[in-house]
């Protein structure tokens, strides 16, 4: 099931990060109240890390029961454990090391010096297996029904490590795949596929800065997902685009409410 995207446009990227962090806190607390735990998929990049830093600075972060939160990743650079370019390394610095998470519920994607060595396909299959093991009967598929799955949008419309026209964005069966030859370094990555992304209750796409304006315009104008992967990212209950004014500068005002702060 596809949900029509909703747009919220903020004045600048700092306000966007703070508002998104507040929104995420509320969503996690509500999920924990209704189901006992929450499941969130994190994204890297400047907007993903900006949101995590804003969450770390938010007094309301203490409303979250961090021990009852599962964290997953939408993609990862296939580099050695602890490499500063890995999304999980950056997430630990921005937030994770500052909050009392249960280490068993922090599901980092495999590193290139892990048990699968340099075999990116084996690493992807292992992560798919971890997702499948966490999916209960109520999740209707091989991945958990994530409460929120966040994605940064690249200037070329890529999300996670699904790049336009490359094989990973065409995948319809597997939930996690290895990526080789990514146009953005490093070339070797592990990524969730569109079927896994679409299992989420809510998908949030983050875009800030003038360099994201064209990507937002393309993805929200009816482009196909093979050419514009961001166009294929949607949640079962909600698809939310969180933008700053610069990233929204090429969008028709009819797409978003004038009251957006």
Residue 235 in this model has a pLDDT that exceeds 90: yes
132-171 residue pLDDT tens: 999 987 776 899 999 999 999 999 999 999 999 999 999 9
* Residue 180: predicted pLDDT: 97
Task: Scan for tokens 């703070």, then name that residue.
Answer: 18
Look at residues 60, 50, 64 and name the one whose alpha carbon lies nearest to residue 20. Answer: 50
Residue 232 in this model has a pLDDT that exceeds 60: yes
CA angle 181, 185, 186 (to 5 degrees): 75
168-187 residue pLDDT tens: 999 999 999 999 999 999 99
Q: Alpha helices of 36-119 — where are they, by DSSP H? A: 45-57, 87-94
**Interval 198-210 mean pLDDT:** 97
* Residue 259: predicted pLDDT: 52
**Interval 226-241 mean pLDDT:** 98
Residue 2 in this model has a pLDDT that exceeds 80: no
How much is the pTM?
A: 0.96
**Interval 64-87 mean pLDDT:** 98
Residue 258 in this model has a pLDDT that exceeds 70: no
* Residue 137: predicted pLDDT: 79
**Interval 63-88 mean pLDDT:** 98
β-strand partners of 191: 75, 177
Residue 16 in this model has a pLDDT that exceeds 90: yes
Q: Can you tell me the distance from the alpha carbon of 207 to that of 215, in angstroms, rounded to the nearest whole number?
A: 9
**Interval 234-254 mean pLDDT:** 95
**Interval 63-79 mean pLDDT:** 98
Q: Can you tell me the distance from the alpha carbon of 82 to that of 40, in angstroms, rounded to the nearest whole number?
A: 22
Three-state secondary structure readout of 150-194: EEECCCCCCECCECCCCHHHHCCCCCEEEECCCCCCCCCEEEECH
Name the strand (E) or helix (H) holding 79: none
Q: Can you tell me the distance from the alpha carbon of 21 to that of 55, in angstroms, rounded to the nearest whole number?
A: 5
3-state secondary structure of 101: coil
**Interval 123-134 mean pLDDT:** 97
| Per-residue pLDDT band at 1 (split at 50, 70, 90) | low
């Amino acid at each position: 099931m596809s949900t029509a995207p909703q747009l919220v446009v903020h004045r600048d990227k700092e306000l966007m990060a703070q508002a998104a962090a507040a929104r995420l806190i509320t969503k996690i607390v509500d999920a924990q109240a209704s189901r006992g735990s929450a499941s969130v998929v994190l994204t890297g990049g400047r907007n993903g890390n900006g949101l995590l830093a804003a969450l770390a600075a938010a007094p309301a972060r203490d409303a979250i029961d961090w021990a009852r939160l599962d964290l997953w990743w939408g993609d990862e650079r296939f580099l050695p454990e602890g490499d500063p370019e890995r999304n999980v390394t950056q997430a630990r610095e921005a937030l994770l090391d500052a909050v009392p998470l249960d280490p068993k519920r922090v599901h980092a994607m495999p590193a290139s010096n892990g048990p699968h060595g340099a075999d990116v396909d084996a690493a992807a299959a292992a992560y798919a297996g971890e997702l499948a093991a966490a999916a209960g009967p109520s999740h209707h598929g091989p991945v958990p029904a994530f409460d929120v799955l966040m994605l940064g949008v690249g200037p070329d419309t890529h999300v996670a490590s699904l790049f336009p026209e490359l094989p990973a964005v065409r995948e319809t069966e597997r939930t996690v795949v290895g990526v080789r030859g990514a146009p953005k370094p490093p070339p070797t990555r592990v990524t969730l596929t569109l079927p896994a992304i679409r299992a989420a209750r809510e998908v949030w796409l983050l875009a800030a800065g003038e360099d994201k304006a064209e990507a937002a315009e393309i993805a929200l104008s009816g482009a196909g997902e093979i050419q514009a992967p961001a166009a294929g990212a949607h949640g079962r209950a909600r698809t939310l685009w969180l933008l700053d004014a610069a990233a929204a500068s090429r969008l028709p005002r009819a797409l978003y409410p004038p009251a957006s702060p």
